[in-house]
Amino acid sequence: MLIVKKFGGSSVADRDRIYNVAKRCIEDYKKGHDIIVVLSAMGKTTDQLIAQAQDINPLAPKRELDMLLTTGEQVSVSLMAMAMNALGVPAISLNAFQVQMHTTSTYGNARFKKIDYDRIRHELDNRRIVIVTGFQGVNKYDDYTTLGRGGSDTTAVALAAALHADTCEIYTDVEGVYTADPRIVPKARKMREISYDEMLELATLGAKVLHNRSVEMAKKYGVQLIVRSSLNRAPGTVVKEVVGVERMLVSGVAADKNTARISVIGLKDQPGIAFKLFDLLAKHKINVDMILQSVGRDGTKDISFTIPSGDVREVMDIIKDNQNRITAQKVECEENIAKVSVVGAGMMSNPGVAAKMFEALYNVGINIKMISTSEIRVSVIVDAKEADKAMQAIHDSFGLED
């Protein structure tokens, strides 16, 4: 078998953890399997590197930021190879350049385009464990790029797809995918399995356990994922195409506190206004999430939408610079909000999920500021300070606990 194993930063945070991972990989290697290991940077390394860059130049060029951040993974893979060699097993570390993992050119948020597998194949054929840097790629200028925070998961899935691995195991410091973040909802339950679609929604909506693009890619190439702990042998959660016959009405609850609401007020109530506004944002590569337009009255209307918190300043500037063109009288921003969502493939064929969620919020006195739905999810915007309470109430009302 060819197995891809990805370990997050906390799983390689220090010497003991590195040896722990090395030993676990060697176990499977000694069974005769081919092993590719993908690593994140050790512990909080990436955060520290970002802080260091901020300190030198808060407006550092994104190219240089990627040049800096990619060093984190280079440290963890080389140390891992040294540990395995010390344990008597031939292992080699490779970075994105050596593998030739080609991405788009966007620094800080690159996407894989093409991955060469000759070098990795060659090393595997020589019975080496191959340890690859997560989170990084190279673009057409031969520069390093990074894939966005948490991107090592996507590296693992991309390699599993490119090399047709039999399985892709994502090791982390929790035992799998839970019905809600167990630090916030102590009664949350670990799921045995979850579909790609549900996992994709949860990952996009704030569950941090998997990088959302890794799930997208796993679905596209049919790579089965197993999310499990690097610290114990619990079986973990399988992410795959179909899940059991009994589809859960609701499989999980997630909260995303990294969101803000922009309201553009007093727009002319005529064709083309929404187009002009969102075209402007799209040209600046701003990811808009929920959109709400009020009923036109007296020839004007308002449009509110949510964006990632980090984009607030840029979006406010863009709109103010174009206020006349989009006919806005005023623009406002609210930053202390959170998006709380329920996800479940079963809601497609069962009405009433939204009503039940709203009832749960009503029962604990939480006001809803915005609502949006898709086939398998309902999301609401609430005050950020009420997000945890909202998650608990919703989790309780759907009976997701053990």
The three-point CA angle 223-202-157 to 5° equals 25
Residue from 150, 176, 236, 252 binding Mg ion (CB under 5 A): 150
10 binds ligand ASP (CB under 6 A): no
**Minimum gap (Å) between residue 5 Cβ and ligand ASP:** 14
344 binds ligand ASP (CB under 6 A): no
Looking at the DSSP bridge assignments, the partners of residue 102 are: 114, 138
Looking at the DSSP bridge assignments, the partners of residue 300 are: 268, 297
Q: Cβ closer to Mg ion: 39 or 370?
A: 39
208 binds ligand ASP (CB under 6 A): no
Q: Cβ closer to ligand ASP: 40 or 392?
A: 40
Q: Cβ closer to ligand ASP: 152 or 397?
A: 152
Residue from 43, 151, 176, 236 binding ligand ASP (CB under 6 A): 151
Q: Cβ closer to ligand ASP: 148 or 346?
A: 148
135 binds ligand ASP (CB under 6 A): yes
User: Smallest Cα–Cα separation from 27: which of 254, 233, 207?
Assistant: 233
User: Smallest Cα–Cα separation from 264: which of 308, 300, 289, 311?
Assistant: 300
CA–CA dist 210, 207 (Å, integer): 7
CA–CA dist 238, 4 (Å, integer): 15
Q: Cβ closer to Mg ion: 150 or 176?
A: 150
**Stretch binding Mg ion (CB under 5 A), from 142-150, 217-225, 317-325, 366-374:** 142-150
**Stretch binding Mg ion (CB under 5 A), from 148-156, 195-203, 318-326, 382-390:** 148-156
Give the three-class secondary structure for 352.
Answer: coil
Provide the 10 A C-beta neighbour count for residue 257. 15
Residue from 43, 72, 176, 236 binding ligand ASP (CB under 6 A): 72
Q: Which residues have a Cβ under 8 Å from the Cβ of 306 and sit 6 or more positions away?
A: 259, 260, 261, 262, 288, 289, 290, 337, 339, 370, 381
267 binds ligand ASP (CB under 6 A): no
CA–CA dist 195, 225 (Å, integer): 10
Q: Which helix (H) or strand (E) holds 256?
A: strand 252-268
**Stretch binding ligand ASP (CB under 6 A), from 77-85, 144-152, 160-168, 273-281:** 144-152
Residue from 3, 101, 134, 212 binding ligand ASP (CB under 6 A): 134
112 binds ligand ASP (CB under 6 A): no
Give the interface size with Mg ion as a residue count (CB under 5 A).
2
CA–CA dist 159, 36 (Å, integer): 9
144-146 and 112-115 beta bridge pairing: unpaired
Residue from 149, 208, 257, 389 binding ligand ASP (CB under 6 A): 149
CA–CA dist 201, 254 (Å, integer): 9
Chain positions 24 to 53 lying near ligand ASP, rule: CB under 6 A, are 40-41, 46
From the list ligand ASP, Mg ion, none, which binds 139 (C-beta under 5 to 8 Å, kind-based)?
Answer: none
344 binds Mg ion (CB under 5 A): no
CA–CA dist 351, 364 (Å, integer): 23
Q: Cβ closer to Mg ion: 254 or 337?
A: 254
Which is it for the CA torsion 399, 179, 187, 181, positive or negative? Answer: negative
**Minimum gap (Å) between residue 103 Cβ and ligand ASP:** 14
Query: Which residues contact Mg ion by CB under 5 A?
Result: 8, 150
Query: Which residues contact ligand ASP by CB under 6 A?
Result: 8-9, 40-41, 46, 72, 134-135, 149-152
